[in-house]
Amino acid sequence: MAKRNYRPLVSVKALQKTMGRYYAITNYHRYWGKPLRRPLAWVTSGAPVELLRAFKIHSAYPEQYAAIYSARKTTVALCEIAEAAGYSQDLCSYARSNIGGVLRPDLAPLGGMPKPDLLVACNNICGTVLKWYEVLARHFNVPLLVLDTPFLTAELTPQAKDYVLEQLYAMSADLEKITGRSLDEKNLVKQMRRSAEITSLWKETRQYCQASPSPLNAPDFFIHMAPIVVLRGSQEGIDYYRKLKAEVKERVELGQGAVENERIRLVWDNIAIWPQLFTFYKMFADKGACFVSDTYSGGWAIEQAPGTPMESLAATYTEVFLNRSPEFRANQLINLIREYKADGFVMHSNRSCKPYSLVQEVIRRKVMSETGVPGLMIEADMADSRAYAEEPVRNRVQAFLETFE
Amino acid sequence: MQKYFVGVDIGSLTVKVVLLNEDLETLGMVMNRAGFSGRDVATRLTEQLLADSGLTTQDVSATVATGYGRVTFPSDREVSEITCQAKGIIHLFPSARTVIDIGGQDSKVIKLSQNGKVADFAMNDKCAAGTGRFLEVMATALEVEWQEIGELVSTSENPTKISSFCTVFAESEIISQVSAGALKADILAGVCESVASRVASMTRRTGLEPDIVFTGGVAHNQGVVNALAKQLGFPLLVSREPVITAALGAALLAREILKA
């Protein structure tokens, strides 16, 4: 019996180099930021980073650092600091661990995050970010720019688009004041083009998983999505995904699957369970079950909306999947199940992420009824391991996998 | 030559063992408290059960273990209790489409497809309210044996209201109800309602389709059976031995291993 039935990617080395470089540059920002007149912004994962790049602003992502804190098993300690300071345990664990890391950087991996010069929050992913970033703004006494994207119950209306567009212009004016630069239109076009390219590469890489056996499994999506989150608009990001795509393409040509003896194809919904990233999916891989796609990393595989750069930004960032109706989200999952020929799906009821999780039961029933495939729901948290009960989770996973026999 | 199969269910509270033969005859069934080592109890019970039929472990063709303690027990296969419960119930009630199982600290609802396979399931998560544990705590606080509950509850005319959110807090609640002079029967009726409503809300996740079978140790409790049937608005089928249905399912699966 093979001891390891999960095949790691060679590109992981290039990923570590790319991300290592990013963290080093980011962490030493205090040395080069002022001389190069490049402020550091802490931004939400759905912030219009292309606009910030056009102003030569360097971005760091608290959510992404929070995932690292989790992988390094420091989330609980950091959350406890925030909770002791009065933050409710019901709040998002990214917010709690980030705040914990701000209050006690000595407890955070990488020494915590470098101090921001400004904060940029877009609520297309959730409403928690608004209050979270206000806390940070008060703590660091730096400007906070907010982009309010109205929730889309159906398609993007002209009014919603105009509302967001107006805010982007206002944000641009604020950024001019903060950076002392005027908006470089050519640079913005370049950033948009690069974003479009990296997004395309990521999308095509994921699409290879329609093959059987799938060349990638869930841990791969979650590990290799890092550059598209934090290096969108950069040439390093593009170079990295070209490499990854080539390796994945080769795997398909050679018929190499991520999971040995793939016999069950599944789609994953919600953010990863970072503290158990490998051990969790191993339960599935051990039984020949492979996650051939997911709704989370797929969120970064979306085409740019048409129009001028600002119009495109307004539409693209408002149409982010977490800002859409349950019908849209159910269809997203249904389409993935059909396109990737999945035999079932697994939903992570993520205690931290209310917008992602609270509507899952409705989506689950609709998807099961329309596709006829079974869907498992498990309760956990993306970063806080206190919410992960191994035995009950294993029990449910086993029961679910037994239905495929 | 006759073949024999063993199904072992090592639960959180009790261990159940069923002995089956090739002709689907249940030759014996036994249950005992799990204590510290469910595995040791299971081993002892299995040997005892076999001895009662004049058999030894050598005579057993296959064994399947289920329940939380299944990985600790040497068996030919370990299978989740969801699958085993579905197997056992469909054998006893071929018309079953929904199974409600309330055990020591688990409660689950299993939806069965036309061919008796598991189509969907819902389980309690990180909370024992609405399980056998809840009833046990309340019965102990009221100094009532669980066998008495059904009859006592049937005499109640004014069930009290009890929180269904936390077993420990609910215990404090009923103690204060006792101090306030509430009748034992009424408090117990409230406890049964509480368990029933907790389970009823779980059935909404998978949906309810008759015939509905109620199994697990708590199905012995007539108070809960009646409260649940009333809340669901459906009659409930209950086997004569609800505690061993998962172990029976395990034994049936053991029989199928050999056929495979």
3-state secondary structure of A308: coil
Mean pLDDT of chain A: 95
| pLDDT the model gives residue B149 | 87
User: Exposed, middle or buried: residue A251 (CB in 10 Å: 0-12, 13-18, 19+)?
Assistant: buried
Q: Choosing among A286, A371, A396, which should be mutated to test the B contact, i.e. which has the most B CBs within 10 A?
A: A396
Does pLDDT of B256 surpass 80? Answer: yes
Q: Domain ranges for chain B, please list them.
A: 1-93+241-260, 95-238
Instruction: Give the DSSP letter of residue A259.
Output: B
Using a CB–CB cutoff of 8 Å, tell me whether A403 touches chain B. yes
Pairing status of strand B107-112 against strand B236-237: unpaired
Does B118 contact A398 at a Cβ distance shorter than 8 Å?
A: no
The CATH fold of domain A25-186: Rossmann fold (3.40.50)
Count H helices, E strands: chain B? 8, 10
pLDDT tens for each residue of B70-99: 999 999 999 999 999 999 999 999 999 999
Does pLDDT of A1 surpass 60? Answer: no
A166, two tokens = 């107006």
Mean pLDDT of chain B: 93
Q: State the pTM of this model.
A: 0.93
Question: Cα(B157)–Cα(B189) distance, rounded to whole angstroms?
Answer: 9
Minimal Cβ distance to A379: which of B79, B82, B125: B125
Give the rounded percent of residues in chain A with a pLDDT score beyond 70. Answer: 99
Asked if omega into A269 is within 30° of 0 (cis), the reply is: no
Mean pLDDT, residues A126-136: 98
| pLDDT the model gives residue A3 | 45
Minimum distance, in Å, between the CA of residue A399 and any CA atom of chain B: 5
Phi-psi region of B65 (alpha: psi -120 to 50; beta: other; left: phi over 0): beta
Q: Which value does ipTM take for this structure? A: 0.89
Mean pLDDT, residues A160-176: 98
Chain-centre distance for alpha carbon A189: 24
**Residues in contact with A405: Cβ distance below 8 Å, sequence separation at least 6, in sequence order:** none
| pLDDT the model gives residue B259 | 65
Question: Cα(B149)–Cα(B128) distance, rounded to whole angstroms?
Answer: 19
C-alpha count within 13 angstroms, C-beta hemisphere, residue B81: 33
| CA-atom Rg of chain B in angstroms | 19
B83 neighbors B253 (Cβ within 8 angstroms): yes
pLDDT tens for each residue of B95-115: 999 999 999 888 999 999 988
Does pLDDT of B17 surpass 80? Answer: yes
Residue with the two structure tokens 């409230």: B190
Report how far apart, in Å, the C-alpha atoms of B184 and of each of A189, B107, B171 are. Answer: 76, 25, 13
Query: What CATH number was assigned to the domain covering residues B95-238?
Result: 3.30.420.40
Phi-psi region of A255 (alpha: psi -120 to 50; beta: other; left: phi over 0): left
Does A399 contact B80 at a Cβ distance shorter than 8 Å?
A: yes
Interface A:B, Cβ pairs < 8 A: 38
pLDDT tens for each residue of A224-280: 999 999 999 899 999 999 999 999 999 999 999 999 899 999 999 999 999 999 999
Q: Using 50, 70 and 90 to split pLDDT, how confident is the model at A32?
A: very high
Minimal Cβ distance to B119: which of A374, A379, A389: A374
Using a CB–CB cutoff of 8 Å, tell me whether A390 touches chain B. no
Using a CB–CB cutoff of 8 Å, tell me whether B118 touches chain A. yes
Question: Cα(A308)–Cα(B185) distance, rounded to whole angstroms?
Answer: 73
* CATH for B1-93+241-260 (3.40.1160.10, 3.40.640.10, 3.30.420.40, 3.90.380.10): 3.30.420.40
Q: Using 50, 70 and 90 to split pLDDT, how confident is the model at B164?
A: low
For A75, the enclosing helix (H) or strand (E) is helix A75-84
Q: Domain ranges for chain A, please list them.
A: 25-186
